[in-house]
C-alpha cells in the first residue's frame, strides 16, 4: 500500500541538504574549477606562456641563434625612431577602421535578411557562406590571379581599371585589401547577426505593427537596438582581426608598392624572419597586443557592454 507523504519527505530533505528532490547525490549550483581546468591549462600553455616569452624577447637582442642578450629598451627606442614602424601602425589602424566601416552595415543587413523566411533563403545563404570555408591563403591566391594586370579581370576591362595594376598604387592596393577581407569575413559576422536577429522576440514586431510601424521603422527602432550586444562583439572581432592581418598582405602586395601597404604585422615578419632581429619583431608583436587590447577595452567601456547582465539580446 502506497502513501502520499513521500514527496513531502523528499522536499523536506532537499531543503536540509540543498539538493534537488529526486536527484540524490547530485548538487545544484555553479560547477567547480575542475570543469574549467582543461581550458585554463590550454590557454595558459598556448597563450600566457608565449606572451610571457614575447615580453622577455622584446627586451633582448637575439638573431635566432645562441642565447638572447638583454638589451634593455633598445628595441623600443629603435621602433620610436623608425618611420616605417610609425607608418605601419597608421596603416594597420586605417585598414581596421575601413574594415569595420564596410563590413558592419553589410553584415547587419545580410544577417537580418538571412534570419527571415524568404524563398530559397537557405540555398542562397549556403552559397554566400562559401568564402568563409576557404583559408586566407587560398582566398589571397585566388584574388591575386583574378586581379592580375596582364591576364586577370582588369586587363579585360581596361575602361574601368585603367592600366589594370591595382596593386601598384597605395590607394587602390588598400582598397583591394579591404575588399578581399570583406569578401571573406563578412559571412562570419553575418552569421553572428543572423543568430541574434532570430533571438529577437516577435512580440516586439507585432506590437509595432499594431502601432502602424513600417519595415524601416521596425528595423531602426527594434532590430538595431536589439542587436547592440552583437554589434559590439562583431566590432571587437574585426578590430583584433584587422590589427593582426598578415597573410593577405604577404600574398597580395608583400608590403608594396615600396612600404605603402607594410602594416605592423607584416613589418614584424620582416624584422623577425627576414632580418633575423627577433628582439625588435617581438617588440612590434607586443605593441600590437597592447593596441588591440586597449581598443577592445575602450569599445567595451564606451558601449556599456560590461554593465549588461541580461541574457537577452539588447536588454
pLDDT in tens, 276-290: 999 999 999 999 999
Over residues 243-270, the mean pLDDT reads: 93
Inform me whether the pLDDT recorded for 310 exceeds 50: no
Q: Are 255 and 266 in contact (CB under 8 A)?
A: yes
Inform me whether the pLDDT recorded for 2 exceeds 50: no
Q: Are 78 and 157 in contact (CB under 8 A)?
A: no
Mean pLDDT, the chain, rounded, equals 85
Cell numbers found for residue 293 = 587590447
Residues 75-124 have pLDDT tens digits of 999 998 999 999 999 999 999 999 999 999 999 999 999 888 877 777 88
* pTM (two decimals): 0.82
Inform me whether the pLDDT recorded for 250 exceeds 50: yes
Cell numbers found for residue 84 = 616605417
Q: Are 186 and 110 in contact (CB under 8 A)?
A: yes
Q: Are 219 and 143 in contact (CB under 8 A)?
A: no
Residue 1's pLDDT band, with cuts at 50, 70 and 90, is: very low
Tell me how long the chain is: 315
Nearest to 266 by CA among 255, 251, 274: 255
Cell numbers found for residue 168 = 601598384
Answer with the residue of higher pLDDT: 147 or 27: 147
**Radius of gyration in angstroms for the set of CA atoms belonging to the chain, rounded to a whole number:** 26
Nearest to 245 by CA among 300, 166, 177: 177
Residue 306's pLDDT band, with cuts at 50, 70 and 90, is: low
Nearest to 107 by CA among 237, 246, 243: 237
Amino acid at each position: 500500500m502506497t502513501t502520499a507523504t513521500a514527496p513531502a519527505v523528499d522536499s523536506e530533505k532537499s531543503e536540509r541538504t540543498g539538493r534537488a528532490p529526486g536527484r540524490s547525490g547530485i548538487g545544484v549550483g555553479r560547477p567547480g574549477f575542475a570543469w574549467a581546468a582543461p581550458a585554463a591549462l590550454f590557454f595558459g600553455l598556448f597563450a600566457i606562456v608565449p606572451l610571457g616569452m614575447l615580453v622577455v624577447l622584446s627586451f633582448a637582442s637575439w638573431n635566432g641563434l645562441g642565447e638572447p642578450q638583454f638589451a634593455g629598451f633598445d628595441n623600443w627606442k629603435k621602433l620610436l625612431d623608425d618611420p616605417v614602424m610609425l607608418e605601419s601602425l597608421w596603416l594597420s589602424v586605417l585598414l581596421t577602421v575601413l574594415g569595420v566601416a564596410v563590413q558592419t552595415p553589410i553584415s547587419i543587413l545580410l544577417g537580418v535578411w538571412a534570419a527571415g523566411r524568404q524563398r530559397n533563403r537557405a540555398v542562397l545563404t549556403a552559397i554566400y557562406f562559401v568564402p568563409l570555408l576557404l583559408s586566407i591563403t587560398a582566398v589571397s591566391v585566388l584574388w591575386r590571379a583574378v586581379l592580375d594586370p596582364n591576364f586577370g579581370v582588369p586587363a579585360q576591362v581596361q575602361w574601368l581599371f585603367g592600366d589594370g595594376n591595382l596593386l601598384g598604387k597605395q590607394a587602390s592596393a588598400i582598397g583591394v585589401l579591404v575588399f578581399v577581407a570583406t569578401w571573406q569575413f563578412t559571412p562570419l559576422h553575418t552569421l553572428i547577426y543572423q543568430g541574434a536577429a532570430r533571438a529577437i522576440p516577435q512580440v516586439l514586431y507585432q506590437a509595432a505593427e499594431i502601432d502602424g510601424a513600417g519595415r524601416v521603422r521596425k528595423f531602426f527602432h527594434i532590430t538595431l537596438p536589439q542587436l547592440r550586444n552583437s554589434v559590439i562583439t562583431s566590432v571587437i572581432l574585426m578590430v583584433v582581426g584587422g590589427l593582426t592581418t598578415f597573410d593577405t598582405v604577404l600574398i597580395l602586395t608583400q608590403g608594396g608598392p615600396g612600404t605603402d601597404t607594410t602594416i605592423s604585422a607584416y613589418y614584424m615578419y620582416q624584422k623577425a624572419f627576414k632580418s633575423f632581429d627577433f628582439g625588435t619583431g617581438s617588440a612590434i608583436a607586443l605593441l600590437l597586443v597592447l593596441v588591440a587590447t586597449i581598443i577592445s577595452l575602450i569599445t567595451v567601456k564606451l558601449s556599456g557592454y560590461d554593465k549588461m547582465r541580461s541574457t537577452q539580446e539588447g536588454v
